Amino acid sequence: MISLESRIFTQAQQLLTQLYGAGAAFRDGQYEAIKAALTRRRTLVVQRTGWGKSLVYFICTKLLREQGKGLTMVVSPLLVLMQNQMEAANRLGLTCAQLNGRTKKSRQEILDRMVRGELDLVFITPETLFHKDVQEKLRQIVIGLFVIDEAHCISDWGHDFRLEYSRLKEVINQLPANVPVLATTATANDRVVADLRNQLGEDVFVSRGPLARESLRLQVLPLEGRSERYGWIAENLKQLSGSGIIYCLTQRDCDLLADFLKSQGISAAAYHSGLDDEVNQETEELFQQNQLKVIVATIKLGMGYDKGDISFVIHFQMPSNIVSYYQQIGRAGRNIPQADVFLMSGPEDEEIIEHFIETAFPTKRETDSMMSYIQEQEGASQGMLESALNIRSSRIKKALMFLCNDGFLFKEGSKYYAAPKPYVYQQEHYQQIKDQRRLEMEQMKELTHTRECLSKYVIRCLDDPEARDCGCCSNCTGRDILPSAPSLEALEASASYLHDLLIPILPRKKWPAGVMEKTTMTHMNQEGLCLSRYGDAGWGRMVKEGKYSPQKRFSEELVQRSAQALAPLVEREGIGHITHVPSLRTDLVEDFTRRLAERMGLTFVPLLKKRPAQPQKDMENGAYQCRNALESFYVAEDGQVPAKLLLVDDVVDSRWTLTVCGFQLMERGCEAVWPFALADSGQSD
């Protein structure tokens, strides 16, 4: 009589041959993971990128469906990952579907097909899984295998913890005991593996293999300044064959770098969560078809993205930890013999990472005030909280997610209500994770300075006992893969570009909820201009120095550059007058605006006045910023308002000061207002 194990192996081998042809063999650990998932019920697979984790659940699905078992549900965080895997699963003859933000229109039809048992495998995002209509249908759906892809997202010790993922333990606990659960990830150290084992339940089989990627050559680039990094990238992309990814820490850096590369004749596109899904999807398709040399992306294009011929990965800034770094460089060299990986780093990177660490969790002040308000009001919407509390809208949204996830709040319709569970702020737990993430940042900093094998250092940090010298990184060979600094010509070109770069100030079109009777604005500013990013090398640093110099005066170079930047706009629109945003504490902006008016031959008109009020920088969300600006500024009664006007401020952040001042000027008869600011201090993460 054939044993169960022999039958599983024979069937699995037949499917592998069907997929890859005669002579195909499982990689070390693949068959063991398949067997464990089909017999041991709880399985955790921790294997390097490109190892073939998806093959494990594809074969399990095929075997279970042939036995008449239910469908496989794969929880996956990335839409691009779903599409890649759908194509692979179809080659095995599996009938698949996706449930995510892009498939809202067909959601009901897909759910009905799941109930009828017509689908073998469904990829679903955690956000969609917990939608009310999906949860209701789940009771009628027979699940044969439950898969959690990128399982490190469950653990708040992981590099990419996601609140939606943390709720998956609720689903696991509700599954019948005989339904196998398979969790897969390429990026989990000992701490995360221990946490995942605890969450998956008792008797978990762990498949954990070596993490080294022999196809990758690593090099560290000690380039601190933006112009040096821009120059190196523009010059050396031409030396790199194929296509690749450049990772940035912020959305704004993605946009700016992609624009710079396009100005240098390089086919590039930005990719991040601040862009529309349709835009990102088009970028993915162009990249897959090799119509783009490079995608400039945040971590949104990280986990699981599968393009087998990516030949290089460049980190424009240092990632926050080794696990993220390993995850991202793993996009390269999957189906080609060699790929190159370059890491840039500098002090600015540490500041950004520290900001991410410090803002990762809601503060006690935020959650205390929100819980109190919700309890007092007996329920409140996000808009009500923003109007009532001086907390950034993004922070309110984050705190609501944490409070719901921890069971202190629940949501019905658009409102949040206090749950019976007593509210307690998890100070100690949050602090432990912050401390751990700071240690991980130090590990990452050490990578940029170590003289040992770069690959070995990375793998050892991931607790791989088989870490060894790769023999091909710049430290092992003693030679740079590419020159470690840009040529003088490339540096001059990038410095010139950054010197002339202007940032648009986009007009706001709606008032925050609760501020005005109607949210639609009757008067809007024109699109304005901003000279720099606050504090950046060049103009941004000059603005910062001017604000805090003993003389309290902006330099003549800033006046000259501003006049040069504004000249085409002034000539094109026929603008003859200029005014400023006043301050009760300093005449810094007025002095600058008068000098700018003189240089450009414009008439300076001091139209706006300011009442005593709280500093605008202390206002944290749109409702508070807008109300504070409305209370602070007004147009002088005797002011003769011209038809066209430049409105000058030193630093723009939320845009509400410029929006309100422009609105008031237009209410008094001005036909059009163009804002201008010396620097933009807004955050875009």
pLDDT at residue 520, as a whole number: 86
- Number of folded domains that form the chain: 4
Mean of per-residue pLDDT scores for the chain: 89
Residue 80 has pLDDT above 80, yes or no: no
Query: Which residue range(s) make up the domain with 73?
Result: 4-208
Residue of 680, 663, 646, 641 lying closest to 569 (CA atoms):
646
pLDDT band at 294 (very low <50, low <70, confident <90, very high): very high
Match 């499917």 to its residue by tokens.
Answer: 15
pLDDT in tens, 462-474: 888 888 999 999 9
Residue 435 counted as domain residue: no
Helix axes 588-600 and 556-573, enclosed angle (nearest 10): 60
Residue of 127, 29, 47, 27 lying closest to 327 (CA atoms):
47
Residues 186 and 224 in one domain: no
Residue 351 counted as domain residue: no
Residues 141 and 15 in one domain: yes
- 510 bridge partner residues: 520
Residues 202 and 235 in one domain: no
Q: What is the DSSP annotation of 314-355?
A: EESS--SSHHHHHHHHTTSSSSSS-EEEEEE--HHHHHHHHH
**H or E element in which residue 648 lies:** strand 644-652
**Would you say 74 and 124 are in contact if contact means Cβ atoms under 8 Å apart?**
yes
Residue 528 has pLDDT above 50, yes or no: yes
pLDDT band at 81 (very low <50, low <70, confident <90, very high): low
Residue of 361, 352, 360 lying closest to 315 (CA atoms):
352
Residues 650 and 562 in one domain: yes
Determine if residue 52 is left, alpha or beta; phi over 0 gives left, psi from -120 to 50 gives alpha, anything else beta. left
pLDDT in tens, 110-144: 999 999 999 999 999 888 888 888 888 888 999 99
Residue 164 has pLDDT above 80, yes or no: no
Residue 575 counted as domain residue: yes
Q: Mean pLDDT, to the nearest integer, of 68-95?
A: 79
Residues 226 and 302 in one domain: yes
pLDDT at residue 3, as a whole number: 62
Q: Indicate the SS3 state at residue 455.
A: helix
Domain-terminating residue out of 438, 460, 494: 494
Residues 539 and 563 in one domain: yes
Strands (E) across 19-75 are located at 42-46, 71-75
pLDDT at residue 303, as a whole number: 63
Residue 555 counted as domain residue: yes
Using a pLDDT cut of 70, give the percent of the chain over it: 96
For the ranges 164-173, 270-279, 403-412, the lowest mean pLDDT is seen at: 164-173
Q: What do you get for the CA distance between the two ends of the chain, in Å?
A: 61
**Would you say 605 and 577 are in contact if contact means Cβ atoms under 8 Å apart?**
yes
pLDDT band at 159 (very low <50, low <70, confident <90, very high): low
Residue 220 counted as domain residue: yes
Q: Indicate the SS3 state at residue 135.
A: helix
Identify the CATH number of the domain in which residue 391 sits: 1.10.10.10
Residue 509 has pLDDT above 70, yes or no: yes
Identity at 142, one-letter amino acid code: V
pLDDT band at 685 (very low <50, low <70, confident <90, very high): very low
pLDDT at residue 603, as a whole number: 96
Residues 369 and 385 in one domain: yes
pLDDT at residue 133, as a whole number: 84
Q: Mean pLDDT, to the nearest integer, of 569-591?
A: 94
pLDDT band at 684 (very low <50, low <70, confident <90, very high): very low
pLDDT at residue 130, as a whole number: 86
Residue 91 neighbours by CB under 8 Å, 6+ apart:
19
CA–CA gap between residue 518 and residue 244 (Å, rounded): 47
Residue 229 counted as domain residue: yes
Q: What is the pTM of this model?
A: 0.86
pLDDT in tens, 481-495: 999 999 999 999 999
Residue 443 counted as domain residue: no
Residue 269 has pLDDT above 80, yes or no: yes
Residue 381 neighbours by CB under 8 Å, 6+ apart:
414, 415, 416
C-alpha to C-alpha distances, 325 to 442, 468, 540, nearest whole angstrom: 13, 18, 29
Residues 196 and 249 in one domain: no
pLDDT in tens, 414-434: 999 999 999 999 899 899 989
Half-sphere exposure of 397 (CA within 13 A, CB side): 4
pLDDT in tens, 228-256: 999 999 999 988 999 999 999 989 899 99
Domain-terminating residue out of 398, 429, 460: 429
**Would you say 591 and 580 are in contact if contact means Cβ atoms under 8 Å apart?**
no
Residues 113 and 201 in one domain: yes
Domain-terminating residue out of 208, 241, 267: 208
**H or E element in which residue 660 lies:** helix 656-667
Residue of 499, 605, 513, 504 lying closest to 560 (CA atoms):
499
pLDDT at residue 103, as a whole number: 79
CA–CA gap between residue 586 and residue 566 (Å, rounded): 24
pLDDT band at 98 (very low <50, low <70, confident <90, very high): confident
Using a pLDDT cut of 90, give the percent of the chain over it: 55
Residue 440 counted as domain residue: no
For the ranges 201-205, 333-337, 450-454, the lowest mean pLDDT is seen at: 201-205
Residue 161 neighbours by CB under 8 Å, 6+ apart:
152, 153, 154, 155
From the centroid of its chain, how far is CA 127? 16
Identify the CATH number of the domain in which residue 322 sits: 3.40.50.300
pLDDT at residue 1, as a whole number: 44
Residues 539 and 584 in one domain: yes
Residues 32 and 134 in one domain: yes
Residues 317 and 366 in one domain: no
